[in-house]
Amino acid sequence: MCFLAYALWQWPSRAGLGHCPRTILTEFARIRTADIVLPLAHMSKRGLRIRCVVRPERAQTILLERLGLRVPQHLKAPPRRQM
């Protein structure tokens, strides 16, 4: 846990953003995902689920670029539960 705290303290500083890990975590928390479900057939209970990342706002995009990060457009869907 100490290593994570140290990394979050140093990372923004090395990117020229000062010592503001709380601000960075707050901005990261605002990046959202959305599940899009498309029906496969008429009256079917099954659907095609696509998990997408909502495009970050301009300020978030700049922050991510300064930190050398890239947000993926699509995420892997969680594994289906076996019943």
**Within 13 Å, how many C-alpha atoms sit on residue 17's CB side?**
20
Per-residue pLDDT tens digits for 28-64 = 788 888 888 888 877 777 888 888 888 888 888 888 8
Helix (H) or strand (E) holding 76: none
Nearest to 21 by CA among 11, 33, 35, 32: 11
Confidence band of 3 (pLDDT split at 50, 70, 90): low
The residue behind tokens 């079917």 is 44
Beta carbons of 55 and 64 less than 8 angstroms apart: no
Confidence band of 14 (pLDDT split at 50, 70, 90): confident
For the chain, what are the domain ranges? Answer: 2-75
